[in-house]
Structure 1
Amino acid sequence: MWVVPESEIAGLMTPEAAFDAVEAVFAAMARGDARNFPVVREAIGHEDALYGFKGGFDGAGMTLGLKAGGYWPNNAGHGLINHQSTVFLFDPDTGRVSAAVGGNLLTALRTAAASAVSSKYLAPQGAKVLGMIGAGHQSAFQMRAAVRFGNFEKVIGWNPHPDMLTRLADTAAELGLPFEAVDLPTLGEQADVIVSITSAFEPLLLDGHVKGPTHIAAMGTDTKGKQELDPALVARARLFTDEVAQSLSIGEFQHAAAQKLISESDVIPLGQVITGQHEGRGNAEITIFDGTGVGLQDLAVARAVVELAKEQGKATKVEI
C-alpha cells in the first residue's frame, strides 16, 4: 500500500491537475462509466461532529475507493481545520487496499475544481465580475480556481461576519484583482459568476437579487436542511449538479423540490454538458450548479496525487 501524507499534498497536487481529474470524472459519470455509492453521513453524538463515507467506482479510470471523514466544528480549539478526511484506494482487480492519502487539502482542491469546471461550461460569455458569498477556509480555494480558469477583472464579496472579509480581500490582492465588499443585492446585480460557499440553513441570495445573465455555483456544506439560495431563484434557473439524487436530498435543490417548484427531470448532470449530451447554458439567463461533492471526485484527485507522489519519490510503501 502506498501512503501519501497530508503534509506532501500541497507540493504535489496542482489546481490544473485537480481540474482535469474532476472534469474527466464528471464526463465518465455522464457516459455511465463511473458511479457513486450511497453516502453515509451521521452525527456521532460527540463534539457536534458529522462523520461519513463517500465512495464509488470509475471504470474508465479504474479507480475504486472511499473517503472517510467529516466535519468537526470545534477543531479550532485543537489547532485543526474543521473538515478532516482520508482517502483510501483499492485495487479493482483484487480488492486489496492500494493507497491511503491525506484528504483535507485534496477535498478543498477538488471542491474548487468542481466549481471552476461548472463556470467553464456554464458562465455567461464575457464574464468579468466574480461574486463571492462566504469567507471561510474554502473561499480562498474557490476564488483561486475561478480566477485561474476564467477571465475576471474584479471580485466582489459578502460574508455574514464582515470581519472575515479580509480573507477575500487578501486572496484577490494575491491574484492581482481589485476587491470590493458589497451587500447581497449589489452582489447579485453586478456579478456575472457567483460562488456561494457557506454553511447556511436559510436563503442568503434571494430571487430579486440576481439580475442579468449569471452563473451561480452553490458549493456550501451539503446536509439535510442546507440552504444558500432562494427556492424561487432556483425555480427560474437552468439547473446542473454533480449527482442528481444527492442534490435533491441533501443539496441546494432539496427545498425547491420539496415545494414542488422543480422536479428531478429539471436537474441535469454537469457531465452531460462536458460530453456534449446537453447544450448547457443555451438561452437561459441564470444557471446554477449545485456542487454536492461526490466520492468519485475525491478518488480522481487521490489517484492523480498518488501517481505524482510515486514519480517524485514522496509516497511511502508499507505492507499490511
Structure 2
Amino acid sequence: MLIVPEREIANLMTREAAFDAVEKVFAAMASDDARNFPVVREAIGHEDALYGFKGGFDRAGLTLGLKAGGYWPHNLEKHELINHQSTVFLFDPDTGRAKAMVGGNLLTALRTAAASSVSIKHLAREDAKVIGMIGAGHQATFQLRAALEQRRFEKVIGWNYHPEMLPNIEKVATEAGLPFEAVDLPGMAEADVIITITSAFAPSLMADHVSPGTHIACMGTDTKGKQEVETALLGRATVFTDEVAQSISIGEAQHAIQDLSLRPEDIIQLGRVINGSHEGRTSDDEITLFDGTGVGLQDLAVAAAVVDLAVEKGISIEVDF
C-alpha cells in the first residue's frame, strides 16, 4: 500500500489538476459511468464534531475508495489545527485490496473549490464582473482563488458572520489585483456570482439579496439541517447539483424540498451541462444555483491523481499492509 502524507499534497496537486479531475467526475456521474455511495455523516457527541464517510466507484477511471473525516469546530482555537480533517483511502477495484492512503485536508479544500469553479465555468454569465463571498474561513480563500480563474472579475465583495475574518478573502483579492469591499447582505445584489461557504444551520442569503442573472454556488451545506440560503431563492432559480440524491437529503435543496419550493425532478446534474445533454443557462436574466454537496467521487479523483504524481516523483511511501 502507498501512503502520501498531508505534508506532500501542496507540492503535488494544483488548482488546475483538481478542476480537471472534478469536471471529469461530474461528467462520468451524469453518464452513469461513476456511482456515488450514500453518505454517512453524524454528530459524534464529542467536541461538537461531525464525522462521516463518503465513497464511490468510478468505472471510467477505475477508482474505488472512500474519504473518512469531518468537521471539528474547536480545532483552530484549541489545537491550532484546521477544523476540517480527513483522510482518503483507495482500493484496487479488481481485488479489493488497500491501494493507497492519502492526506485529505488540502485535497478537500481544493476539490470543493474546484466544484464551485466548474459550476461558474458552465453556468455563470460570460460578462460577470463582481464576485460575492459569503464566508471567510479557511476554505473561502481556496474558493475565491479558484473562482477568479473562471471569469474576468473586476471586484470582490464579502460578508461573514464574524467580520474580523474578512481580511482572509481581502488578501486573496489584493493578490489578484482586485478591489475588495465588505458589504451587508443586501449589498450582495451587486454580485454577478456569489459563493456561500459557511457551516451555518440558518439562512443568511435571502431571495431579495440576489439580482436577476446571478449564479450562486452553495458550497457549505453537506449535512442534514445545515442551510445557507432562503428556500425561496431555490424556488426562483434553476437548480443544478453534483448529485440529486445528496442535494435533497443533505444539501441546500433539502429545505426547499420540505417546504415544496422545489421538486426533486427540477434539480439538474451539473454533469449533464458538461456532457452537453442539458443547455445550462438559457438567458442573461436567469438565476442559476449550484448545490455543491461534496460527493465522495470528487475526493477519490483528486486523491488518485495525487498518488500517480507521488509515484512519478518518488515521494510516496510504500508499506507492507
Question: Do both proteins adopt the same fold according to a TM-score greater than 0.5, normalized to the shorter chain?
Answer: yes
Structure 2 match to 1:99: 100
> How much is the aligned-residue C-alpha RMSD, in angstroms?
0.9
Write the deviation string for residues 135-185 of structure 1: whole angstroms up to 9, x where unpaired. 011000000000123221111111111111111111111122111111111
Contact 2:223/2:251 (<8 A) preserved: yes
What fraction of aligned residue pairs are identical, expressed as a percent? 71
Q: 2 CA distance for matches of 1:222 and 1:38?
A: 12
Contact 2:91/2:99 (<8 A) preserved: yes
Amino acid at match of 1:171: V
1:151-300 matched pairs, under 5 angstroms: 151-187=152-188, 189-283=189-283, 285-300=286-301
1:42-57 matched pairs, under 5 angstroms: 42-57=42-57
Q: 2 CA distance for matches of 1:190 and 1:45?
A: 41
Structure 1 match to 2:148: 147
Structure 1 match to 2:127: 126
Structure 1 match to 2:310: 309
Shifted more, 283-292 versus 237-246: the winner is 283-292
Q: 1 CA distance for matches of 2:71 and 2:183?
A: 29
Q: 1 CA distance for matches of 2:221 and 2:203?
A: 13
Amino acid at match of 1:36: N
Q: 2 CA distance for matches of 1:70 and 1:125?
A: 35
Q: Does residue 75 of structure 1 match 2:75?
A: yes
Write the deviation string for residues 285-313 of structure 1: whole angstroms up to 9, x where unpaired. 10000100010000000000111111111
Contact 2:221/2:250 (<8 A) preserved: no
Write the deviation string for residues 74-107 of structure 1: whole angstroms up to 9, x where unpaired. 2121111111100000000011111000000000
Q: 2 CA distance for matches of 1:114 and 1:250?
A: 17
Deviation of 1:110 after TM superposition, in Å, equals 0.0
Deviation of 1:203 after TM superposition, in Å, equals 1.4
Deviation of 1:125 after TM superposition, in Å, equals 2.2
1:195 alignment partner, SS class: strand
2:148 alignment partner, SS class: helix
Q: 1 CA distance for matches of 2:242 and 2:162?
A: 29
Q: Which runs of 5+ in 1 are unaligned?
A: none
Q: 1 CA distance for matches of 2:80 and 2:49?
A: 16
Deviation of 1:200 after TM superposition, in Å, equals 1.3
Amino acid at match of 2:139: Q
